[in-house]
Structure 1
Amino acid sequence: MTKLIGLPGVLLALATPALAAETDWPAFGHDHSNRNFSGLTQIDRSTVARLRPAWIFQTGVTGYFQAQPIMVDGALYLSTTQNNVAALDAKTGKVLWTYVHKPRTDKIFGPPSNRGVAVANGLVYEATMDGRLIALDSKTGKVVFDKEAVRPEEGETETASGLADKLGGKPVQGSSRLGFKMPPLVVDGLVIVGVTGAGYGLHVEDAKGGLDGGAVVGIEGGYGRRGWLAAYDARTGEERWRWYVTPSEGWEGGFVDKTADGMPLHRDTAAEKAAAEANRDAWRVGGGSLWMTPAYDPSLGLLYLGTGNPAPQNFGLTRPGDNLYTMCLVALDIHTGKLRWYFQQVPHDEWGYDVAAPPFLFDGPNGTKAVASASKTGWIYVHDRTDGRLIERSEPLLAQKNLFVPPSAEGTVVAPGPLGAVSWPPTAYDGHLAYVQVRHGATTYTVNSVPAGPGRPEIRFTETGGAKGEPSFSTLTAVDLTSGGKIAWSVKSGSRLSGGTLATAGGLVFSGEEDGHLDAHDAATGETLWRFQCGAGISGPAMTYAIDGRQYLAVASGGSSYTQASGFGTGDSLVVFALPE
C-alpha cells in the first residue's frame, strides 16, 4: 500500500549534470540517481570488439568480490571482501595506498563481502561487515575516524549450535547479526548507510552448505533483529539520526488481502488476527535488512530505499500482520530520517522477496519525476517520487507461478524463488530503456516440524528447496519505461547473471556472468557484440571513466557460489579494459 506521510507540496526538477562532459565515476551508480549510466562514447558499437585489458590489479583477497570501484580525480578507489581498501592510479593501476582492515569480531552475517566505498570531502568512507563506519584520507589512506555503529552479535538469542539437536540433528547455521554491505551515500554533510542481516535468522544447511540456491529455512520464534538506516556526520562519524524499518506502533498494518497493485495474497488473516495478541512484540525482532545504496533527490530532500524481508523469514504465523515497513520502497527525509511515504510490494512476506535492488530516479511518463524499483517478484514498479503514487508496473520479466501462494506441508512450488527475478545487483537506465539481469527459476516451500520433546514445544519451520522440472536460467532484459513498461528485448545468457548492468551513451550495455564472462550488448537489440573471460565469476557491477581522452571499463572478478559449486574457484582481480592506443 502507498502511504504519504507529511510530504511538503513542492515539486522541483532533479538536477542532472551534462552527461557528455563526464569523465569520473564519483559515486555508486555513477551519481545519486543510481542510474548506472555514463555519457562516454569512445567505446561504442563500432569499437567495442577491439576492447582488451589495459591493466589488472590483484587484491590478494579471494572471495565474493562485489564492489563497484569509484574514480575521482584520476584515482580509483576499491574495497574488497574482508573490507580492505586500495587506491590506484586509474590510468596505470599503480598502487597509491592500501588499507588493511582488522575486524573486531568474526561473528558476521554471511560471506565477508563489501559492495563499495564512497568518496567525498577528501575522504573515503567504508561501512564494514563488523559494524563500523570508517573514513580514510583519500590521499594517504590514513584513518581519520573509525566509529563502531553496531556489534554484529548484539541481541542474539539462541545460537545455531543450540538448535541443532532440536531439528532432528540437521546442521543449523546463521543468525541475525547486523553489519554493513552497501556502499555509503554521502550527501548534505551526512553519510547514509543501513544494516544487513536483520531478517536472516537461523536456518538449516542444505547439502551444499547453505549456499544461495540451497535450502533456507525460516524457524518460528524470535530469530531476527530490527533493521535500520542511519545518518552520520561526514566530518566526525557521529550519528545524527536513525530510522527503524519495523515500527513499535502499527507494524501489523491493515491485514490486507491484496498487494497495493491488486494481486491476491492468499493469506489466512483470521488466523493471523487470532495470533496477534500473543505476538504483539514481534516487531522487536522484525527484520528488514537494507541491502543497497539509496537514491537521493536533492530538490525534494528525499532518500529512496528498498527494505528487506521480515523475521522470522518464510514463516509468518509468529509475526501476524503486514509487517511494516519490510518489503517496501520508502522515502525518508534526508535531514530527519522521518518517513514521508511507503509502498509495500509484499505484505506479510513468506517467500524472501526483499526489495533489494537499488531504486533509481528518472524523468517518467507525462513529465513526472519518477523513482523505479526492480523487484524480486518479477516487475519494475514506477512511482511518483513526491508522494509514492504508482505510475505504472512493467510487464512481467519472467513466467510467474503460484505467486504469493503460501508454503504448505505438501510443498508449494512458486516462481520466482527468493533469488529473484531481480535481486540486489543494480539496474542501468539510459533515458529510455532499463536493463535488468533476471533470474528465472522456481522454489518449493515446505512447512515442516519437529515434534515436542521434554521441556520444549513443537518447533515449526519452512524449508525451501529445488523445484524439479522447472526451468532455471538468466536473461538480460530491456524494459521501456516511457511506454507502459513493455519489454523491448530479452536475451538468454550462457550462465547465471550477477553483479548488475552498466549502460553507456556508446549504445552499449555491459553485464557480468557468474562463469567469468563480461559481455557487451547492443543497447537497442540485445545482440552480444563482445565477450571477455575474466577468470572468475563476475558478481559486482562494472563502471567506466576516462583519463587523458581514453575511456576505461572496470569490473571486479572474484567468483561466486555458482562458480564454486561448478568446480571453479574464486578470484581477486580488478580487470580494467580500454581500446588499443
Structure 2
Amino acid sequence: MHSRRAWRRGLQGVCAVAVACVAQSFAITPHAGARDMTATRLLNADAEPDNWLHHHQNYAGHRFGNLTQITAANVRTLKLSAMILLAGQTPAEGGRQRTTRLEGTPIAEDGFVYVTDGWGALYKIDLRSGRRADFVWKMDPRIDKVWAGDVACCGVNNRGAALWKDQVVSIALDGRMFAVNKESGQVTWERTVADPSIAETLTAAPLVVGDLAIVGPAGAEFGIRGWLEATDLNTGNAAWRTYTIPAKGEPGNETWADPYNAWETGGASIWVTGTYDPVAKLMYWGTGNPAPQIDAEYRPGDNLFTDSLLALDPATGKIKWYFQYTPNDPFDYDEVAEHTLIDIDVGGQMRGLVTHVARNGFFYGFDRVSGEFVYAKQYPNLVTWTDGIDPKSGKPLAYNPRTALQQYNPGSVPRRGVVGVFCPALPGGKNWEPSTYSRTLRTVFTPSTEGCSAFVAQNEGHFEGKLGGTFKKRTMWDGRAAAPATTQRPLAQTGYSINALDPRSGQLKTKVMQETKTWGLVATAGGVVFGGNQLGDFSAFDARTLSTLWTFNVGTPIQAPPMTFAVNGHQYVAIMAGGTAGPAQRMIRSSTQFFTPSNYVFFFSL
C-alpha cells in the first residue's frame, strides 16, 4: 500500500507524467471553437433548452427538458438514432470491485455530449451529424483499478462532469479532480481532493458555482468522516473544506454521546451533487448515514450532521442552517439525494421551497432561506418505523429528544441480538436515483421501492483512529447481520413504483406499480416522463397518468437517469447503460442472467 500511495502523491500537480492521465483524440469533422461556459450561462441554463448544462439540468435540480418535439402523442414512434460503446468495462483482475456500472448523467452543449465511465474516464461525443455518435476525445485518468476498486465502499461509479469556461471538470474514483480542455481533451490541472488511503473516494459530479467546483466523498460504509470541499478552478487549489461531522468543541459534537470518539469515523458522506439558489446565495446538500450503518448502540446520540439537509454559503462553506431527517439512524436512511428548489403557491402564499424525496419514506418541503419546516407526506405504501411526522417540528413522531438511543416504533429498530423489521426497506423509499420536476405540470415525479427489511445489529468493535488505510477488513463496517430465518417476521412483498407528488402540499397524486426499480426520471414539456431499469427496459410514461406509452429494451442493465437535449432542431433522449442485473431481475426475467457487463450510451429521437 505504501508504494501505491507514494505513486499517487507524485501525481498531484499538473498532469505532466505520461502515466498520470492520457488524452486520446479521434479524427472528426473540424468545428468552430466551443463557447465558454460562463457563470451567466450556468445561472440561466433554462434559457438554453437545447442544452443540458448542469448535472441536474439547472441549479434548482429540476431535471426538466423544456422541449416539445417528442410528445405523449408521438412517442410511440421513437427510435434508436445512435449508440456508442465506452471503454471502461475492462475487468480489474483480482480486485474486490472488478467491473463498473454507469450511473452518470450526460452533459450536452451545442451538439457535443460529455460522459464519464465508472472509473472516471471522460469522453467527448459528437452528435451533430444526426446519423451517428462519434468520439472526439477521451481523457483516461489511468487509475490503479485493483486498488481503487478495493477502496471503494459501494461500487465503481461516477455520476458525471461539469462545465466551466473552456474546461470540463471531472473526478475519478481514486479521489482526483481534473480540469480538462473542452477542445483538446488535454488535462489543464489535476489535484487530489479525497484520500482513498482512509477509504474516501469520489463518485459525485462536481457542482460549479462561480469559479469553485464543489464535491464531497463517498465511504461512510468504511467509516470516513464526511466533508464538502471547494476547489478554486483558476488555480486548482483548495478554497475551503467543511466537515459534515463536528469535531470536539464544535457545536453538534455533543450529539455523539459515546466514550471513544465515534465522530471520527461517523460517516455523513456526500456522494450526490447539490443544488444552488443564486438569490439566497445558498447551496443545498444532503448527507449520508452514520457509521456503522445499523448498530446505533455504537454511536448513541442524534449523530449530527448525518442524514441531514445542509444549507451552506458557497463562498465560505459555512453552514447557515440544517435539518436532520432521522436522528440516531438505525435504518441506513441516508439523505444524499437531490434537494430540488421549487417556487410555488403553498396555502395561497408563494414560497421558495427546497424539497426532498427522502429515503425514510416522506416527501419534505422547507423554506429554503430560513429552513422553516413546511410539510412532510408519506409516499411509499408502507412506512412502519414511525407513525408520521410532527407537523410543527418536522421530526418523526416516534423521535424522543430526551434519549440518546432512539427506539422509534416498537419492533422496528435492529438491536444487538434483536431483530428489527422496518419499512421502507434499507434501500429506502427512494435512494440516490433522481426525481424530476415538471415545470409545466408543477409535479414532482419519483421512482420508489415498496418494501421492508429485517436485520439484527452487530457489534463490530471500535477501530482505533481512522478505519481506512490497511484495508484488512474488506467487508463494509455496517454493524448489521441478516435476521435469522427462524426469528424473522413475514415481510411485505417488495414492489416498485413511479409516483407523482404535489409540491404545493407534499401529497401523493398518482402511484403506478412497475415490474422492477426505475433508476431515475426526466420529465419533458412534451408531457412525457422517461426512465430505465435493470431489465434493460427504457420506457416513456404519460406525465398525466403515468401509463406506459413506449418501451425499448437496450439489452443491458440501466442504472442511470435519462436526460434530453436537441441538436439542429432535433430532440434526443439519452440514457447510459451498463453493469449487471441482480438476483431480483433474474427472477423477473431469466434472460437477464446472460447480460454481459458493458458501457453504452444510447440516443433516441423521432
Q: Which category of TM-score, normalised to the shorter sequence, fits these structures?
A: 0.7 to 0.9
> Helix, strand or coil for the counterpart of 2:259?
helix
Matched, 1:488 2:498: no
Deviations 1:22-65 (A, max 9, x none): 11001111111111001100001111100011100001333311
Other-structure match for 2:119: 82
Q: 2-side partners of 1:22 and 1:344: how far apart?
A: 35
Alignment counterpart, residue 49 of structure 2, candidates 18, 22, 25: 22
Query: Cα 1:18–1:71, aligned 2, differ >3 Å: closer, same or farther?
Result: closer
- Counterpart contact for 1:114–1:181, Cα < 8 Å: yes
Match among 71, 91, 101 for residue 141 of structure 2 = 101
Equivalent-residue separation in structure 1 for 2:114 and 2:84 (angstroms)? 12
CA contact (8 A) 1:309 1:326 kept: yes
Give the letter for the 2:333 counterpart.
Y
Report the equivalent of 2:423: 415
Residue 208 of structure 2 is aligned to residue 186 of structure 1: yes
Match of 1:230 in 2: 229
Aligned residues of 1:398 and 1:438 also touching (Cα < 8 A): no
1:278 equivalent in alignment to 2:318:
no
User: Separation in 2 of the partners of 1:145 and 1:533?
Assistant: 40
* Structure 2 Cα separation of the partners of residues 40 and 372 of structure 1: 24
Q: Are the equivalent residues in 1 in contact too, given 2:110–2:567 (CA < 8 A)?
A: no
Q: Check conservation: 2:292, 2:478, Cα contact below 8 A.
A: no
Structure 1 residue 513, shift from structure 2 partner: 1.2
Alignment of 1:52-91 (within 5 A): 52-62=79-89, 63-91=100-128
Residue type of the partner of 1:439?
A: T
Partner of 2:279: 299
Distance 1:94-1:460 versus aligned 2 partners, 3 A rule: closer
Runs of 4+ in structure 1 deviating by more than 6 angstroms, as ranges, are: none
CA distance in 2, matches of 1:93, 1:528: 28
Aligned position for 2:526:
506
Q: Which residue of 2 aligns with 1:351?
A: 331
Paired residues of 2:107 and 2:114 also in contact (CA < 8 A): yes
- CA separation of 1:560/1:301 partners in 2, compared to 1, >3 Å: closer, same or farther? farther
Aligned residues: 491
Indicate whether 1:438 and 2:460 are aligned: no
Q: Displacement of 1:439 after TM fit?
A: 0.6
Contact 2:380-2:449 at 8 Å conserved across structures: no
Instruction: Measure how far apart 1:179 and its partner are.
Output: 0.9
Q: 1:143-166: CA deviations, max 9, x gaps?
A: 111101132023xxxxxxxxxxxx
2:543 to 520, 523, 539: 523
SS at match of 2:332: coil
Are residues 1:463 and 2:481 paired? yes
Give the whole-Å Cα distance in 1 for the aligned partners of 2:136 and 2:84: 12
SS in 2 for 1:393: strand
Extract unaligned runs of 5+ from structure 2. Answer: 1-41, 90-99, 387-407, 462-476, 587-592
- The answer to whether the aligner puts 1:373 opposite 2:353 as a matched pair is no
> Would the aligned equivalents of 1:250 and 1:324 in 2 still touch at CA under 8 Å?
no
Q: Which runs of 5+ in 1 are unaligned?
A: 1-14, 155-176, 202-223, 256-271, 452-458
Query: How many angstroms does 1:252 deviate by?
Result: 5.6
State the alpha-carbon separation in 2 of the partners of residues 564 and 471 from structure 1: 12
1:129 positional shift = 1.1
2:411 pairs with 1:425 = no
The answer on 1:50 being equivalent to 2:94 is no
Which residue does 2:17 correspond to in 1?
none
Task: Give the TM-score normalised by structure 2.
Answer: 0.77
CA contact (8 A) 1:45 1:508 kept: yes
> Which string of whole-angstrom CA distances, capped at 9 and with x for unpartnered residues, describes residues 129-153 of structure 1?
1010111111111011110113202
Report the AA paired with residue 335 of structure 2: V
Aligned partner letter, 1:446? V
Structure-2 residue corresponding to 1:554: 574
Q: Give the whole-Å Cα distance in 2 for the aligned partners of 1:328 and 1:512.
A: 28
Compared with structure 1, are the counterparts of its residues 200 and 394 closer, same or farther at alpha carbon in structure 2 (3 Å cutoff)? same
For the 8 Å contact 1:398–1:421, the answer to whether it is kept is: no
Contact 2:124 2:136 (C-alpha < 8 Å) held by counterparts? yes
Q: How large is the Cα RMSD of the aligned pairs?
A: 2.2
CA distance in 2 between counterparts of 1:427 and 1:136 reads 29
Matches within 5 A, 1:199-218: 199-201=220-222
Q: Residues 317-328 of structure 1 correspond to what in structure 2 (within 5 A)?
A: 317-328=297-308
String of CA shifts for 1:53-91, please: whole Å, max 9, x gaps. 110000133331111100112210000111111101123
Residues 177, 193 of structure 2: 8 Å contact kept: yes
What TM-score do you get using the length of structure 1 for normalisation? 0.81
